[in-house]
Structure 1
Amino acid sequence: MRRLAGALALLLALGLAQADEGQEPREAAAGVDAAAAAKEQAAPTEQAAPKVQAAPKVLAAPKAQAVPATLSERLRQAGRGIASWYGGAFHGKRTASGELYDMHAFTAAHPWLPFGTLVQVTSLVNGRTVTVRINDRGPFGPQRIIDLSRAAAQSLGLVGRGLKPVEIRLAGQPGEE
């Protein structure tokens, strides 16, 4: 019983203390004259300016690009660029297709053409043309579109120059007769 009475007294004291918190002490209220109180009430209270929400950003949709339907169409789009060649350092090593690189064969590396694809490469400097079979991946240099074997590069007159502008055309796809 004593515990209950003590708990009630504590709750009552806390309730009274909270009720007095929102009111000014009587001494302070007595010192404020009526004119100052009226002036204070007449002054506009500062309010924060209403927040203006920015309109959501509208992102432009990426421009749709037509995807080439066939290998021929794709090759036509990327058919001109720089040819390079690779030779002795890679001779006898495995290509991306798994076969051994033969620098004396008419083969080439291309970034995305299927292995076995036949490509006609024409030099834009001297007009010579050679047909090669894709058996490796590359080239990886800027603006280069094909890496030729030494034999193919020699046929095009590329060996002394190192790099040469060429045009490539699809000559045959794997499995074609």
Structure 2
Amino acid sequence: MYSIALLFLLTIASSFSVSFPEKLNRKAVFLDSIQPKDSILVDTLAVALKPFKTNVHASYYHDKFNGRRTASGQKFDNNKLTAAHKTLKFGTKVKVTNPKNQKSVIVTINDRGPFTKGREIDLSKKAFFEIAGSKYTGHIMVDLELVEE
């Protein structure tokens, strides 16, 4: 019944046509355009998270690795939000949360490691210090969640 009513309405609507002069169309598009000053920056993403590991050690890369190739072939940059993990696929996005201050960051796995016993993930310097409570620490306990797309 609803499909018949919808079909009827679409048939009636398609029989009407509206045309505007070319000059008016251009002006309407210009006036309706969004300008940079009218836009806003959103800092929230709606993503599905899958718990992976909790209460694991995280450390960060030394600056000497800047510019070197990672195991994925990408050039390492300590100023990007990347990380190394022993088993996760390259390109996997991981939400890393410091449970002490509830700060978190989403990183992309692009390297293998860490190769220090007891460490679960190596973060870029930028990612590490976004969630670390102090700039004087070299490793912290974190929770890891996989970001599902």
TM-score (norm 2): 0.62
Report which of the two structures shows the higher radius of gyration computed on alpha carbons: 1
1:120 counterpart = 2:95: yes
CA distance in 1, matches of 2:88, 2:135: 24
Give the conservation status (yes or no) of the 8 Å contact 1:107–1:149.
yes
2:77 to 87, 93, 102: 102
- Once the 2 structures are TM-superposed, how far is the Cα of residue 160 of structure 1 from its aligned partner? 2.1
- Residue of structure 2 equivalent to 1:142: 117
- Residue of structure 2 equivalent to 1:171: 147
- Deviating above 3 A after TM superposition, structure 1's stretches of 4 or more consecutive aligned residues are none
Per-residue Cα deviation, 1:108-157 (whole angstroms, up to 9, x for no partner): 00000000000000012221100000000011122211000011011012
Unaligned runs of 5+ in 2: 1-49
CA distance in 2, matches of 1:159, 1:142: 23
Higher strand share: 2
Percent identity among equivalent residues? 42
For residue 76 of structure 2, what is the amino acid of its counterpart? Y
Give the conservation status (yes or no) of the 8 Å contact 1:130–1:155.
yes
Give the conservation status (yes or no) of the 8 Å contact 1:95–1:135.
yes
- Residue of structure 2 equivalent to 1:160: 136
For residue 140 of structure 2, what is the amino acid of its counterpart? K
CA distance in 1, matches of 2:79, 2:125: 6
CA distance in 1, matches of 2:76, 2:135: 17
How many residues in Structure 1 have an aligned counterpart in Structure 2?
Answer: 99
Unaligned runs of 5+ in 1: 1-71
Give the conservation status (yes or no) of the 8 Å contact 1:150–1:159.
no
